[in-house]
Every structure is written in structure tokens, then in C-alpha cells.
Amino acid sequence: MTQKSAEAGPAKAAKAATTAKAEAPASVAGYRQPTGEETLSIVNLNDLEAEAAKVLPKGGFAFISSGADNQVTLRDNLAAFERIQLRPHYLVGKPAPETKVTLFGQELTLPVITAPMGAHGLAHASAELGTARGTAVAGTLMTVSTAANKTLEDVASASTGPKWFQLYLQEDQGKSRELIQRAEKAGYSAIVFTIDAFAPGSSDEANRLGFSFPPSLPFANTGTATFKPSLTWEDVDFIKETTDLPLILKGVLSPDVAEKAIKRGVNGIQVSNHGGRQLDGVQAAIDALPAVAGAVKGRVPVIMDGGVRRGTDVFKAIALGANAVALGRPVLYGLALGGAKGVESVYGQLQAELVRTMTIAGTANIAEISRKYVL
Amino acid sequence: MTQKSAEAGPAKAAKAATTAKAEAPASVAGYRQPTGEETLSIVNLNDLEAEAAKVLPKGGFAFISSGADNQVTLRDNLAAFERIQLRPHYLVGKPAPETKVTLFGQELTLPVITAPMGAHGLAHASAELGTARGTAVAGTLMTVSTAANKTLEDVASASTGPKWFQLYLQEDQGKSRELIQRAEKAGYSAIVFTIDAFAPGSSDEANRLGFSFPPSLPFANTGTATFKPSLTWEDVDFIKETTDLPLILKGVLSPDVAEKAIKRGVNGIQVSNHGGRQLDGVQAAIDALPAVAGAVKGRVPVIMDGGVRRGTDVFKAIALGANAVALGRPVLYGLALGGAKGVESVYGQLQAELVRTMTIAGTANIAEISRKYVL
Amino acid sequence: MTQKSAEAGPAKAAKAATTAKAEAPASVAGYRQPTGEETLSIVNLNDLEAEAAKVLPKGGFAFISSGADNQVTLRDNLAAFERIQLRPHYLVGKPAPETKVTLFGQELTLPVITAPMGAHGLAHASAELGTARGTAVAGTLMTVSTAANKTLEDVASASTGPKWFQLYLQEDQGKSRELIQRAEKAGYSAIVFTIDAFAPGSSDEANRLGFSFPPSLPFANTGTATFKPSLTWEDVDFIKETTDLPLILKGVLSPDVAEKAIKRGVNGIQVSNHGGRQLDGVQAAIDALPAVAGAVKGRVPVIMDGGVRRGTDVFKAIALGANAVALGRPVLYGLALGGAKGVESVYGQLQAELVRTMTIAGTANIAEISRKYVL
Amino acid sequence: MTQKSAEAGPAKAAKAATTAKAEAPASVAGYRQPTGEETLSIVNLNDLEAEAAKVLPKGGFAFISSGADNQVTLRDNLAAFERIQLRPHYLVGKPAPETKVTLFGQELTLPVITAPMGAHGLAHASAELGTARGTAVAGTLMTVSTAANKTLEDVASASTGPKWFQLYLQEDQGKSRELIQRAEKAGYSAIVFTIDAFAPGSSDEANRLGFSFPPSLPFANTGTATFKPSLTWEDVDFIKETTDLPLILKGVLSPDVAEKAIKRGVNGIQVSNHGGRQLDGVQAAIDALPAVAGAVKGRVPVIMDGGVRRGTDVFKAIALGANAVALGRPVLYGLALGGAKGVESVYGQLQAELVRTMTIAGTANIAEISRKYVL
């Protein structure tokens, strides 16, 4: 972390718990992202946004933090969680809660994984390598985006933790096949196919700042970003035919798509509105979850992302049918503020909150969390 | 654009993308409206209001921007759009979307037209001539108000784009007939009859500023504004008898009026609350649309205006039954900030947003947008 | 108006349209209320509150403007009007609207009367005399409170306009009888019996300021305020037996009380929550109106007060079943800012707004305003 | 009260009505809490929070005032009261209201008691002794927390008023039994068993400030706080077997728990979400009350706490089924601002408001307050 950010951090949420080394800001072709590594003392994940804004270049922060258009969906992703009321069960005599879950055969310390996000280099010099290391130390799973600033092989080498590869289909089917095969070879254990981002989203604030991806931060897996501009169910078939890895469909917002996906052989469903970054005006992710989970009926795992900031949010998502949630922006803020250690700190805070929530609510493990814990 | 406005522009939304010529502000009898012509770099149409406030005389801006009384309807016109949730359809394999529509036989680049508004001279020295040119270059249709500062003939000459003439009935029926006949002769392709403005609306802010129409900006079509103070269905008959042009009834808020209008031979319905400028407390236009469109059942085209600022708003209106939407204040703000080129820029931004929305939502053309795309 | 207020006035809403005479502030035993007389140029009645705050002693303004406790009901009285949506009827060919009504045989220029309020001397040196004169010139009816600073006889002499006497029952029944008989003799045409104020309300802001009634402003009708602390239906019977004047029950919020009152011979119902000054948490007056009016079924006139600030509010109340509305605080603000002429100005503004509303809504007279004009 | 607080007080709500002695702030191991004793002049209980913030150490104020996580429940505890509408009954001829109630055979001046709260020493040097004295002078009941800074015996000696002992079960059952027996011996008349706080809550603001309990303020009853980390219905049985004192279960939010508790021999139900301090996202206490009271059907007394600030709040809780309400933070604010006299002032204000509410609503005593007084 730069000296400036090391000073800014302690003032609010992300206080350096270890001595931060004074490092010069990384300056590659003009984009100066943080480089520091330090454990963070976090009060809550919401506070991280303002802290990250202090250490990140304005354009990068705008790109990461904002949503599409009027940001109605971005705000509703968070507000919807606050509308859901919890129903604790007292006098049930539970032992200290256990947060472990198993997802596609892999054991995770908690039911929270790192969501696929592009260009971690905007947040920190270590880019996806730092995120992968921090996620692994936290004992959970990293989803690596096609639009990463580090190659999927380098990310795989950076840690031994479980990893999924998120696929943006390429215009050239051969290149898509090549990406999948590289992911297989590098040890990724699932493919996440994003269905809601064949056209770019648009952030007013990033546009106001004239933000564009800095040349110093190329898309390491594909060189340029030439995504297939139109997707079909045949694309799903193509991926299923290309690999035996489990396939997770990300961007599902309705029960009918979930049903169709399962019939088509999809192995997991990720309820998501892309963090409110694509189509402004779609439903909050947590509001879309119950109907999707109701359609899935436990046949495949359901993951949800969008608006998770608190242990109570994780609890609510599980109670409403998710097997796990994916965490997005807070991971990048942790990365910006403390590198891999910052990411680890983010997970540490969320797990502590989840344990506290489960304790008071009266649940001994993740499997016990069910609909009866929400009003 | 004046130097002052050229300076103000870049600070926020409406950055001059071309080099602005330094022009002196127009000063006719004390009202100094902008005169500049420049392409605008627009982030979103909402931002234009604050930019326009910087370049317009206070009274003129108040008259244009404000609504009646407590402005409940003005605000609700916008808020109602945000309450409507979109339902995208993924994996449907659509080509790049086509925004063209045909309205009364005329092909338009996008389903957005310029709403009838009086006194464009308040916004820019070119008045309706600039609006007509910008609208035409954008490939769409201009509605010219009876209360224009330029004669309908001059506006007709200003561009070759499609135009409708909006009629405020005059006390003297002969004068109304004359207006209609002039419109026919000048090549206007439809008559828009406004039914909600036989009494003037009232803006608190304009009243506070003591605003009145500057003598330098006369109503060019009628000299003075002596509108018929009471309207009946017989007035509809009179227009139908006077002209063979299609007749669009503007100000419809309920299904029964739409039904009656169609039975009376009206050729189009415009759902509108006059931009919240007439009766404060009426329903948001987009909230009134579904029932009206349900009654019309496709027998005649339905247009809606009121609160459209985003591509998602256009999409929502089409999904709820409109064939096209009419754009009001943002057109005048574009005119104020960049003349005809500013108007063109406004349409360019809205079309880009509409294309993005249609792409992500999964619709290949305007005809495909339907109720199934809203929750 | 004092020089200070004459200066303050023009800055916002209540501009002096006539030349204000510079008068010294009235200073009686330390309470210095305004004394000026001037026609006001009003943009809307809401703006008057801030203007009145500039010219009134803090304690007096707090007493007049505030509501009980958390002021939930005070705020809801206004907010409830904004939740009601209007439904205009177009193309109905109505003549210019007529706002006259007849109430208990007396013709009023508009269906708005002055609500009973105590201690007008807090607002202006002319106290109830000024309010009575202004109300009369506006062509409508004044309700004089038992807690007036001028005797009911003096108020009766101040103008020839119609007047009702509002009765707070006295502990001593003989004194109550005497008040009723004095009102009869002085020409009051009805008795308004307030049923919700046998215990004083409480204003946090007035308490903070340590406000108490200045000794210079005695209750002219009763000397001290020794109100009967507990009221019953027998008290209603007592009034009916004491006088042949029509009896209006004020403070009705539910249909059962209205029904009981009519059966007991009451001649009018006033829906009111005492301007949110008594029991915080009761329903907004306009929300209570429809059920009460539905129970009354036209057998006796229904008046409502609470939150009326706009012509659209008057229209909505009539549409929901009121025969007339009573105006409270805005009358005192007008009195404070311009004496009798200020009161007249307040009514002038409200009538102009009502005429505008009726014109656009499509109603030719008050009798035509009905439930079909609200959604 | 210290000089600093004596100065701060009069500026807003908590004005010293008696002459405050200038006392030095208590400084024990660095935590400097107020020591003054004075009657407060209170406008409303809401205002006390800001006043208390001026006289309390930041960490202590944060610990007392804040709720868990995003404080959704904390805020909703208050907002929910404002959503409930009152329905007064007029013309019912009631005498001046009587607020006395009898709870488990003990007569209280009003149906408001002091809720169990830990560590009153954070608020005032007199700690629980001051609260007990003030509560007793006010004529009502004090609940003493296991986590008190004074021994339960010392609190018992401090006043002769009725007292209950709130029990946090200890890990060692023998120690729990000892606590219960000490309470019996010291004259406590009931045991309140808290079921929602076997895991600590968490306050962001206290965490930000790095607050921890000052060593100078030990838990006087238990030395350290080693609470039983998991509770069961067998714990309820254990208490019932250990003592013949009435047992009140605190933290009930659902009818099924109330039903089970009564079947298990519990003698009272306290509806509570621990002041929003434990699980953020649970229902507002007043919203949970009606269903719980409906299940209890009068078999045992129902107490509620959470968000009570006004006489109307007390009235609403009684109307919705509570026999009494417990008051939390405002008692500590009163203690901070005026010691025992401050606590007495808080009750004085609340009783005055309750009397005013009952008078206007038309209820002569607490027993008359029922569901028919809310809409």
C-alpha cells in the first residue's frame, strides 16, 4: 500500500493491523494502482468502498464501483437485503456454528466465493494473483474471469485453492474451445458461463471521467476482448460437449431459464444481475433467488451474487435457497487496500459475521439454514 | 454557444465535442438565449437539465423545466419509470438490434419523436428551426406546436424530415381551419390535437421569477395566443371534417377516452399529462399507458410522452404498449446547449442507450419488445 | 406590515403588491406581533409559512405552526393529499367554472371557510378582527373560536360576512349557555362544537422555546381558559337544547361518530384532527373523509380541515365528499403578513388555483365535483 | 452533572431545572462518566440522545446508543411505532386518566418499567444504584441485569422499589443457581430470563472506536462475563425448579415460543429484540407484539420493549396487547444527564405524555386501552 493509502486507511474502516511497508505506487502507462500488502482491520464491508476510493485512481474506482445507467438495480441489490426480515429460533441448544460447505465436491471454509470480475489490475498491482492467494488463504474458491489481467495459468499457479473459470464466449469458437481446454489443463474445476454480458454495460460515472482500460492492463487471456455478441442455448451445448467440467450458468433471473438449463445438462445455476452493471431496472438478485431456487428444487447447486455485504446477507441468501453466495466488489476493495491479505481480511470479517448470525439465529451449520429463518 | 456556456458545458454532461465558435449571446428585447451550434458529448439526458440551467435565462429555464403546482406529477413521471422492472431474455441468439419503426407510413430511425412544445425561442435563437433540423438529421419526426416562435411554413422549410402539426384550437373556428390548411399545404403529415391545455398551467418557479413571454418571441403562427377555452368531442369532429390528415389525440389518460376517440375516427392516441405542466396530481404517463394501450388493442398507434430520459424508459414504454414515445424537455435542453447539433446529440445518446438495452434484453427489433420484457 | 417584514416579504412568496406603510411593531407586554396591512402577491400557500416565520415572534410562530409530539399527523395531513391522484375529464365542453356554494343557506364565493383557531393576536395586532374582515371581503365564512383574543361581539361588528361560533364547553354550564346566547345575539349563524380538545395539545417546539400565552393577549370571551375536561353526547344534547342554530360537530374521524351525531340531531359534520395539534398518530384528515362522507350520505353538510394548501386539495376534498373545507394556518400566515388584506390575498390565491383546477379537470361548478374525478 | 454537561444541557432538551452543583468528572482508570444529580426539564425522550452524547465518553455512548450491524432493526423499532395509527374515541365522558397498573401483584405508577441493561456505570458514576433510586421514586419497577456494575445486593439496598433480576445463564450451573438464590434473598420479585443474547451483539460504531468495557467498571455480580453459549428449554426448566419466583421469558418474537413457554410454566412473556442490538434484521418489537399477545390470550402478563419514546408509544403497545412496556436507552440517558433525578425526570415526562394521550383518546385507565384504539 502506498504511504498515502496507509495513512488514509486507519482513519476509518480498513486499518492496517500489521506494519505497512512504504511502497511506491505502481505507475504503468499512467495508471497508478496500489501495491501494498497488509492485513486489514475491518468494521464492515460497506465501509471498504469509501476507503478504496481514497487509494484507487478515479477512473478505476468508478469502473469498479458503479452500476449501469441510473443505478436503480445497483442500489436495489443492497436495499432488497434490508427488506428481508430474519426469524431467529431461540432455546434450541445449538453448538458453535460450523460454516463449512462442499460445492461440487470441494470443501470450502464458508459458503462465500469470489465472483468473477474482470481486470483486477485496476485495483492492485498483483491483480488476480493477489485475489487468488487471498481467497485461497481464506479457504474458499476463486472464480477467474476471461477478462483477467493475468493469464489463467498464472492465476492457477498463484495458489492451490479451488478455482473456477468464467467464460466469455469468443467470436471464434476455436478460441473459446482453447480457453476451456487451457482451464481444464490448469486445474480449474468448473466453467462459469455468463449469459448476460455479450454487450458491454455502461457506467455514467466512468463515462464522465472518460475512463478506458489502461493499455498497461491488457486482457491477458485473450489479448483483445472480442466477445461473441449473441448467445444461444446451442452455446451451452457447445461448452457441455467441449468439457466434462461442471458447467454453471451465471445470470439466471427466472425459473424458466433455470429449468431449461438443468434439462440441458447444466450443473449449477448462478442467480445474478451482474452486480447491476448490465441492464439497469432488472430485479434485485436476492429478490429473484426464491423463485429460481424453487424451480431448481435442489437438483443442482444455486449460487447468488449481488449486494452481499454482511453475514446476515449470506444467511438470508442461504435461507432463501442459495447453496453459496459470490462476493464481488468488496473483494476488489480488500485487494486494493491490502493485496492478498486484504482479500483474506474481507473473508475473515464476513465469516465472523456469519458465525455471529448463525449463533444468534440458532443454526449449527449451513445445511440447517432454511426458509423458516426468514419471515 | 456563447463563451460562457461553452465553458460551462465541459464541466459536466454536455461537453462540446467539436470546437465551439465564440458567439455573442442573442439579446432581443432583453431575453438573451444561446445561439451556439455544437455536437454534445452526453453522458445521460438527466444531466442536461443542470447544464441547460447554466446557459438559459432564469425565467426561460423555469418555464421550460418546471411543472404545475407542487410538481407531484412532474416528479412521478420520472419515478414511475424507475418502479417498473425489466425482465431480459437471455440465450435467444438475437442479431444486433434494429430501432427503426414506421409511424403513419413514415419510417423513423428510432421510436422516439420530438414532442410538441411551445416557444423554442426561449431555448435557442434558432428556435423551432434548430429543433426541426436536429430532429430530421437524427432521422425522426418533429411535432411543431401552434405556439411556436417560427411559422409552421418556416419550420417546414428548415428540414425535409417528417413533421406533425400540433393544434391548439382557436376561439375563431375559421382561424383553426386556416391553421390546419396551412399545415396541410406545408407538408405536415398529421394533426396532433391537444385536449388538456385549454387553460394555462402554472409554474410556481416561473411565477416567483415574474416570468412572462418576451415580446421578442411572438407566437409566430397566431400572433397572440387566443385558445378556445373549452373543448368538446365536436371539436374532434370539426378537425376530422376539415382535413384528411391523420388525427392524433394528445392528453389521453384513460381507456374510455381512447375508446371513444377511436370510435370517433381518431387515428392515433397520445398518452400524456402535458409533462406535468397542467393538472398537478394526475397519474404518471407511463402508469396510465398500459390501460390505454389495452383498450386501443392495436387499432391505432399509441404514443406516450412524459418522463422519458433513458433508453430503458423507451424500452419500457414500448413494452407496455406504446408504438413510439415523444421526447420533450431534453430536446429543448439539447437545443439550448448545441442548437440543431445539440438536438441531434440528444437523439444519438438515446438511440445508443436503446440499442444497448435491446441487445441485453434480447430483442432484435422494436416489434419484438412486448409485455414479457417487464416483470 | 412592519418595515422588517416589508423587507422580508418580497424576497420570496409574499411580496407586497401595494405600498406598505412603515409601522412600528406592536409591543404589548413584550410580545411584538406585526401590524401592517397590505395585499400580498402569493405564489402558493406553502411559501407563506417561511415568510410568516420571519415576521412573527419565535414562540408565537412555533405555537401556530407546529403539531403535537413527533408531528406525524401534521405531516401526513399534507402528504395524504399528494397521495391522491386526480382524474380529469376532457372534451366535456364546460363553461368557465363557478366556485360559489351555499352552506346552511349562506352563499359563499368559494367552498373554503376560515377554520376556528384561537388567539389570532399571536399573528397580528388586529387579531380576529383582521381575519374576519379579510374573510368577509373574500366572500366567505369566518369561524370564531371561543379562545379568541377579541370578543365575539367585536368580531361580529368587524364585518358583515357570515360567521360561525366555535364552542369550547366551559366547566360551568351556565357560562357555556351564556356564550351560545351571546353568539346568537351577535348574529352568528351556527355553533361549531369541538370534540377533540378538552385536553391541551402539546408542541415540542413551543415547549423548547418556553412559550406561554402573553398576558397582553387574553382570551377575550372567557377571561381564562377553563374548558370542560370531559365531554359526552349529553353535551351535544345540551347545545341542541340551548339554541336553534345549526350545530356542527368538529373533530369527527370515523363513520360511527358521524352516524350517531346525525341521529342526535347534529346539523353538520367537520372531519378534522385539529390540524395534527391534539393526538399525534391519528389518521390524516383527508384519509378519514371518504368513510365519514359515505356514512353521512348527504344528510348534512360535511366540512373537512387539515392540510389544505392548494386548489387541487380543495378539489380533492370536495371530490371525496366534503361540501366545503376549512382553512387554518395559511389564514393566520396571511394575517401575519398583511392583516385583513393578507387574509383576502390568501383566499384570492386559493380561489384562482381552484378555478384553474376545475377548468382543467372539466367541472363547471362545485356540485359537479365528484368521486369520478379521483383515481 | 459536570460543568461541561451542565452547560451543554440547557442548550437543547435536558435543561437543569435545579441548580447543578459543579462536580469534577469521575475518572476511574480513564473512563470519565458523569456524576451530577439534577432534575431535568425534558421536552421529549428523543432529544435526550443528543444531550447524552455531549456528556458521555464516545465509546460508552456508542455502546449504549447503537444497534447491531446496519441498525435496520434499531431504526425500525422506532419507525414501526409511527406507522401505527391511533383511533381516539370522543364524547365518552371519561374522568382524568389513571395510569396505575399491577404487575405480578406489585402496583406501579405507570405501565412502564426499567428494562434490563448491563453496565450502567458507563452512563453515570452511581451506575445501577442511581437507576434503581430514580425508578423507585418514579413509582415503578427496575430490572437489574446480571451484567450490572453494582452487585444485585447493593442495588436492592439502594431503594425500596420493586425489582426484578435479569439472568444471563452462566456456563457453570452452580453459579446460575447462586445468582438466582442471591436475587431471592435480596428481595427481587421475579426472574427475567433473556433468551436472545448467548452470543454478543456487535456495534459498528463501538468497534470503530475500539470500545471495550473499562477495567474500572467490572461486572459486579459475576466478575467476568462467562455466559452459557447455548440455551435450551431445559434451561427454562432449571430456573423454574430453582426458584418459586415468577419467571419472565425475554426475547420472544413469535407466538409459538410464547405458547411453548406458557406450557412450560413461564409466568410472563417479554416481547423484545434486545433493542436491535443482537440480530439485525429481525422484526420491530411492536410489530411482533400483536401475534404474540394473541397467542398468550391473557394467560400471563406480556411486556414489550424496543423503541418506546412517547406516551403514544406506550399507549399503542398497551392497545396491541402489552400489559406494560420496558424502557431502555432513555433511562440511561436520563441517568447520564441527571443521575437518579434524571431517571425520575424521564419517567415524569413519559407519564405526562401518557396521561395526555389517554385523556384525548378517551380512556380512563390502562385496562380500558384496547385494540379498538388503533386503526
List, for residues C51-74, the tens digit of each pLDDT value: 999 999 999 999 999 999 999 999
- Nearest chain B residue to C86 by CA: give it: B282
Q: If 0-12 CB within 10 Å is exposed, 13-18 middle and 19+ buried, where does residue A24 land?
A: exposed
Confidence of residue A21 (pLDDT cuts 50, 70, 90): very low
Report whether pLDDT(D24) > 80. Answer: no
- Interchain pair C208, D360: CB under 8 A: no
Query: Which residues of chain D have a CB within 8 Å of the CB of A95?
Result: 230
Minimal CA separation from D228 to chain A, in Å: 10
- Which residue is catalytic, options C89, C120, C124, C274? C274
Average pLDDT over residues B200-224: 92
Query: Which residues of chain D have a CB within 8 Å of the CB of A357?
Result: 279
Query: Which residues of chain D have a CB within 8 Å of the CB of A359?
Result: 198-199, 229
Q: Which residues pair with A112 in a beta bridge?
A: A325
- Which residue is catalytic, options B89, B120, B124, B274? B274
- Give the largest Cα separation in chain C, rounded: 60
Q: Quick check: A372 contacting D, CB < 8 Å?
A: no
- Nearest chain A residue to B47 by CA: give it: A204
Q: Contact B171/B227 with Cβ under 8 angstroms?
A: yes
Domains of chain A, residue spans: 3-373
Report whether pLDDT(A10) > 80. Answer: no
Query: Of A323, A315, A310, A306, which is closest to residue A372 (Cα–Cα)?
Result: A315
DSSP state of A362: T
Q: Which D positions 288-347 lie with beta carbon below 8 A of chain C?
A: 310, 312, 316
Minimal CA separation from A41 to chain D, in Å: 10
Query: Which residues of chain A have a CB within 8 Å of the CB of D201?
Result: 360
Nearest by CB: A92 against D232, D280, D282: D232
pLDDT per residue as tens digits for the range C293-323: 999 999 999 999 999 999 999 999 999 999 9
Cell triple for C138: 373574500
Do D and C make contact, counting contact as 3+ CB pairs within 8 angstroms? yes
Per DSSP, helices labelled H in A225-280 are 233-242, 255-263
Helix, strand, coil % over all residues of chain B, rounded to 5: 40, 15, 40
**Strand segments (E) across chain B:** 15-16, 40-41, 101-103, 106-108, 112-114, 142-145, 163-167, 191-194, 247-252, 268-271, 302-305, 324-327
Minimal CA separation from A182 to chain B, in Å: 25
Q: Count CB-CB contacts under 10 A for residue D249.
A: 28
- Interchain pair B44, A69: CB under 8 A: yes
- Interchain pair C281, D82: CB under 8 A: yes
Confidence of residue A19 (pLDDT cuts 50, 70, 90): very low
DSSP state of A110: S
Do B and D make contact, counting contact as 3+ CB pairs within 8 angstroms? no
Confidence of residue B6 (pLDDT cuts 50, 70, 90): very low
Q: CA D102, CA B217: separation in Å to the nearest integer?
A: 80
Chains that touch D (3 or more CB pairs under 8 A): A, C
Confidence of residue B224 (pLDDT cuts 50, 70, 90): confident
Question: Can you give the pLDDT at residue A25?
Answer: 42
Query: Of D228, C236, C3, C252, which is closest to residue A95 (Cα–Cα)?
Result: D228
Q: How far is CA D149 from CA A71, B251, C62, D167, D216, in A?
A: 49, 71, 43, 14, 9
Average pLDDT over residues B221-243: 91
Q: Which D positions 10-69 lie with beta carbon below 8 A of chain A?
A: 69
Nearest by CB: B88 against A72, A229, A279: A279
Question: Can you give the pLDDT at residue C224?
Answer: 78
Question: Can you give the pLDDT at residue B29?
Answer: 55
Report whether pLDDT(D23) > 70. Answer: no
pLDDT per residue as tens digits for the range D234-280: 999 999 999 999 999 999 999 999 999 999 999 999 999 999 999 99
CATH 3.40.50.300 is the classification of domain A3-373: no
Query: Of A278, A247, A277, which is closest to residue A166 (Cα–Cα)?
Result: A247
Question: Can you give the pLDDT at residue A29?
Answer: 55
| Three-state SS at C344 | helix
- Give the largest Cα separation in chain D, rounded: 60
Average pLDDT over residues C135-143: 98
- Interchain pair B70, C91: CB under 8 A: no
Report whether pLDDT(A193) > 50. Answer: yes
For the ranges B81-90, C5-14, C346-355, the lowest mean pLDDT is seen at C5-14
- Interchain pair B90, A279: CB under 8 A: no
Cell triple for B57: 435565462
Total-model pTM: 0.93
Q: Quick check: D360 contacting C, CB < 8 Å?
A: yes
Q: Quick check: B194 contacting C, CB < 8 Å?
A: no
| Three-state SS at D160 | coil
- Interchain pair C231, D43: CB under 8 A: no
pLDDT per residue as tens digits for the range D205-219: 999 999 999 999 999
pLDDT per residue as tens digits for the range C192-243: 999 998 777 899 999 999 999 999 999 999 987 778 889 999 999 999 999 9
Burial code of B153-184, b = ≥16 C-beta within 10 A, e = fewer?
Answer: ebbbebbebbbbbbbbbbeeeebbbebbebbb
User: Residue A20 contacts by C-beta under 8 Å, 6 or more apart in sequence?
Assistant: A1, A6, A9, A36, A38
Question: Can you give the pLDDT at residue B30?
Answer: 81
Nearest by CB: B196 against C43, C88, C95: C88
Chains that touch C (3 or more CB pairs under 8 A): B, D
Catalytic status, residue B120 = no
- Nearest chain C residue to D88 by CA: give it: C282
- Pairwise pLDDT comparison (B153 vs C1), residue with the higher score: B153
Question: Can you give the pLDDT at residue B201?
Answer: 80
pLDDT per residue as tens digits for the range B319-332: 999 999 999 999 99
Minimal CA separation from A68 to chain B, in Å: 11
- Cβ contacts from B onto C, under 8 A: 74
pLDDT per residue as tens digits for the range C7-50: 232 233 333 333 333 333 444 458 999 999 999 999 999 999 99
- Cβ contacts from A onto B, under 8 A: 75
pLDDT per residue as tens digits for the range A217-258: 999 999 877 788 899 999 999 999 999 999 999 999 999 999
- Nearest chain D residue to A354 by CA: give it: D279
- Interchain pair D280, A316: CB under 8 A: no
Average pLDDT over residues D319-329: 98
Q: Quick check: C265 contacting D, CB < 8 Å?
A: no
- Nearest chain A residue to B43 by CA: give it: A204
Q: Quick check: B82 contacting A, CB < 8 Å?
A: yes
- pLDDT, averaged across chain C: 92
- Cβ contacts from C onto D, under 8 A: 74
- Interchain pair B208, C12: CB under 8 A: yes
Residue C287's region, left for phi above 0, alpha for psi from -120 to 50, else beta, is alpha
- Nearest chain D residue to C205 by CA: give it: D43
Query: Of D180, D178, D133, D184, which is closest to residue D157 (Cα–Cα)?
Result: D133
Question: Can you give the pLDDT at residue C229?
Answer: 85
Homologous superfamily (CATH) for C45-366: Aldolase class I (3.20.20.70)
Reported ipTM: 0.91
- pLDDT, averaged across chain B: 92
Q: Which A positions 172-191 lie with beta carbon below 8 A of chain B?
A: none
Report whether pLDDT(D14) > 90. Answer: no
Chains that touch B (3 or more CB pairs under 8 A): A, C
Report whether pLDDT(A188) > 80. Answer: yes
Q: What is the DSSP string of D193-231?
A: EE-S-SS----HHHHHTT----TTS-BTTTBS--B-S--
Nearest by CB: A279 against B86, B93, B94: B86
